[in-house]
Amino acid sequence: MGKRRGLSYQKRVADINRIYDQHVKDGVPNREIWRRFIYPEYAISERQFYNILKASAESKNVIPADAQPYLDFWNDEQGKDYY
């Protein structure tokens, strides 16, 4: 049996893939995407970056629609006053 992944992992996978897809279309190499955009925000190793890219293709990492409200905590009115 594989590891059970939580919502925060699924959100991180989705965010990293969004960033990756955005920059790979411009022809930026994978290592440069990791170095300039992924590492400063998520502080993960290059190996973990590639594991996350591989994990995104798995259906178990799709975020269910009923769990989506739990991941939007920075988009509400209270989150604006936090920073």
Structural domain span for residue 22: 7-82
Q: Are 39 and 31 a contacting pair, CB within 8 Å?
A: no
CA angle 24, 42, 5 (to 5 degrees): 95
Q: Per the structure, how many domains does the chain have?
A: 1
- 58 DSSP assignment: S
Out of 17-21, 45-49, 76-80, pick the least confident: 76-80
Largest Cα separation within the chain, whole Å, is 42
Q: What is the pTM of this model?
A: 0.65
Phi-psi region of 43 (alpha: psi -120 to 50; beta: other; left: phi over 0): left
More confident residue, 78 or 49: 49
Instruction: Indicate whether 29 belongs to any domain.
Output: yes
Given a cut of 60, whether residue 12 has pLDDT beyond it is yes
Instruction: Indicate whether 2 belongs to any domain.
Output: no
Given a cut of 70, whether residue 78 has pLDDT beyond it is no
Instruction: Indicate whether 1 belongs to any domain.
Output: no
Secondary element (H or E) of residue 19: helix 7-24
